[in-house]
Chain A
Amino acid sequence: MFFSMFGAVESGIIFAIMALGVYLSFRILDFPDLTVDGSFVTGAAVAAVCIVNGVSPVIGTLLAAIAGFFAGNITGILNTKGKINPLLSGILMMTALYSINLRIMGGQPNIPLLNESTVFNMFDSFWGQLGIDEALNGLLGSWGVAPLPSTWIVLFATIVIIIFVKLLIDYFLTTEIGLALRATGDNEKMIRSLSANTDSLKIIGLGISNGLVALSGALIAQNDGFVDLKSGIGMIVIGLASVIIGEALFGKKTIVRTTLAVIGGAIIYRIVVTLALRADFLDTGDMKLISAILVVVALVAPKFISTMKDQRRRQRKRTELNNKVKGAS
């Protein structure tokens, strides 16, 4: 139990980077961007090809993010300069990326990364000297937890990365350019009348969004030890699920809070899916169905709850009034 939860939190944090990307396009820019399904694999493929060819994993991961950035740019250009509807722009780019990803991967539908150097194992010797693994595993072992995780470096590294990404996004969205980006999704006509080039802002915004998605894809590939051409299918739904679950559970009053909520949503999503898959009648093929149902629940439940609350409030007022009338007579 502990072991599978540990894995869920680990990958949940990496997927949170992708979810933050989806948050940027879907919520901040109000642009339902389906490029995500393609750019996630683009990131994974670029990183994998770099690593297999002996490039440093850090550089490979950065190149992956840049490749995602360009993919997002193209979706933005299709929408703003080509005047293609946002959904269709994303679908077109996603479809095109499927072939492009296959090209990047040299025609193979998957690339194994086992025994390759990755961002997670390249610091192994340094990490080993710190002795954190032994300390934490010793502590857990004394509580009778088994089996124990082989290394904690992935968890620590992903936590550092996600905090860094979150702070960067929080800061960016309060800068002059960030404010204009938010206004583009909120009231485009207004920000254009305040001398902002909304076309460029959309192109940049979608670039950043897909850059994050590709970064997430690159890290997932290195953590899983392989890239699969089809691993991006349904990624947008996972991203949306994280955003919606996070917002519903942790609130969305301010940007700082919402980005934290999205990260929380991504982790909770992973945990729920992992738990669901433990049920005997479900297997890994049911993942997409579980994702879709989760999104539906996260969308419907908050409204249902607030209607119930409202009804109870009105019921209470009615009883109070009745009691008052009775007391007076």
Chain B
Amino acid sequence: MLNLKDISVTFNEDTPDEKKALQDIDLTLGEGDFVTVIGSNGAGKSTLMNVISGSQRPDIGSVEINQKNVTLLPEFKRSMFIGRVFQDPMAGTAPSMTIEENLAMAYARNKKRKLQKGVTKKRKELFRDYLLTLNLGLEDRLNAKVGLLSGGERQALSLLMATFTEPDILLLDEHTAALDPSRAELITNLTGDIVKRFNLTTLMVTHNMQQALDLGNRLIMMDKGQIILDIDGKKKQELTIEKLLHEFKRIRGEQLDDDRAILG
């Protein structure tokens, strides 16, 4: 489904601030894989997401989606088959437009946009059905401006908008990090449900180790621009936070230094 080959990204090359954000990354995701990505700040998680989504072009290496090389495809074209939810709840929706208009924009993602009505009666019914699955009562507020919703509601809507056209790849970029614990749990549960329902190939970055263990069938750990741990299947189910920290120490010979990652 997703194939990354020899991806390297270096920022500020040949200056004292040089930073190797990604070093020779190879990563393959099969159809329906749900991979959680952990790692301390600056490990290259976000750069990895940006390389896949197309907002960052790799220095070398190639990105393949569905056996098609998309390395040079600009972000907006790639997003026809990549859904993405950002950390900031404000980033995934248009605040001065209504819920149904936002959904209509997401609905048009994998088609060519035309001069036909974005919100039709038939689509309204469809949107209502999808919103029902969120259990937030948003289906009765189709005409409400999204700017009036709370952060949790907006993030749930962003998640729905990123997924209901069933993209080939779903990218979740710490999408629960800016929410309070109960809202974060709600979104985490929703994520699990939606990914399962549409059988989406998913890559989720998180700082919350427990979340990384609870969700998905595969876990990768990144450090200094490299993938240092890749665990899947039964082994992942047996994983605990202690074991993870131990693994990190064994591989790197040092403590994981990010408090946020440990406590998360």
Please give the residue numbers on chain A whose beta carbons come within 8 Å of chain B beta carbons, in ascending order.
172, 174-180, 182-183, 186-187, 189-198
Say how far A59's CB is from chain B's closest CB, in angstroms. Answer: 24
Bound: A189/B76 CA distance, A: 10
| Contact present for A190 and B76 (CB under 8 Å) | no
Say how far B77's CB is from chain A's closest CB, in angstroms. Answer: 7
B119 CB-CB contact with A under 8 Å: yes
| Contact present for A194 and B161 (CB under 8 Å) | yes
Say how far A207's CB is from chain B's closest CB, in angstroms. Answer: 15
Which residues of the other chain, B, contact A189 by a CB distance below 8 angstroms? 86, 91
Most chain B CB neighbours (cut-off 10 Å) among A177, A179, A195: A195
CB within 8 A of B106: which of A172, A175, A194? A194
Which residues of the other chain, B, contact A183 by a CB distance below 8 angstroms? 94, 97, 105
CB within 8 A of B105: which of A172, A179, A197, A198? A179
Interface secondary structure of A, over-half rule? helix
| Contact present for B108 and A180 (CB under 8 Å) | yes
Which residues of the other chain, B, contact A179 by a CB distance below 8 angstroms? 97, 101, 104-105, 108, 118
Say how far B46's CB is from chain A's closest CB, in angstroms. Answer: 14
Bound: A220/B161 CA distance, A: 45
| Contact present for B118 and A176 (CB under 8 Å) | yes
| Contact present for A186 and B104 (CB under 8 Å) | no
Number of A-B contacts (CB under 8 A): 83
B116 CB-CB contact with A under 8 Å: yes
Say how far A134's CB is from chain B's closest CB, in angstroms. Answer: 43
B75 CB-CB contact with A under 8 Å: yes
Bound: A23/B223 CA distance, A: 49
B53 CB-CB contact with A under 8 Å: yes
On whether A177 and B79 interact (CB within 8 A), knowing A187-B91, A190-B94, A193-B84, the answer reads no
Say how far B153's CB is from chain A's closest CB, in angstroms. Answer: 16
Which residues of the other chain, A, contact B75 by a CB distance below 8 angstroms? 192-193
Which residues of the other chain, B, contact A198 by a CB distance below 8 angstroms? 76
Interface string of B139-163 (1 = CB under 8 A from A): 0000000000000000000000110
Report B58-87 residues with CB < 8 Å from chain A CB. 75-77, 79-80, 84, 86
| Contact present for B116 and A192 (CB under 8 Å) | no
Which residues of the other chain, A, contact B101 by a CB distance below 8 angstroms? 179, 182
Enumerate 9 A-B pairs (CB-CB under 8 Å) in ascending A order.
Answer: A174-B118, A176-B118, A182-B94, A191-B94, A193-B79, A194-B109, A195-B77, A197-B76, A197-B77
B8 CB-CB contact with A under 8 Å: no
Bound: A192/B116 CA distance, A: 20
CB within 8 A of A175: which of B86, B97, B115, B162? B115
B197 CB-CB contact with A under 8 Å: no
| Contact present for A175 and B117 (CB under 8 Å) | yes
- What 13 additional pairs, Cβ within 8 angstroms, besides A175-B114, A176-B113? A175-B117, A176-B117, A178-B118, A179-B97, A182-B101, A186-B96, A187-B94, A192-B75, A192-B76, A193-B53, A193-B92, A194-B105, A196-B76
| Contact present for A176 and B91 (CB under 8 Å) | no
On whether A180 and B105 interact (CB within 8 A), knowing A175-B115, A186-B95, A196-B113, the answer reads yes
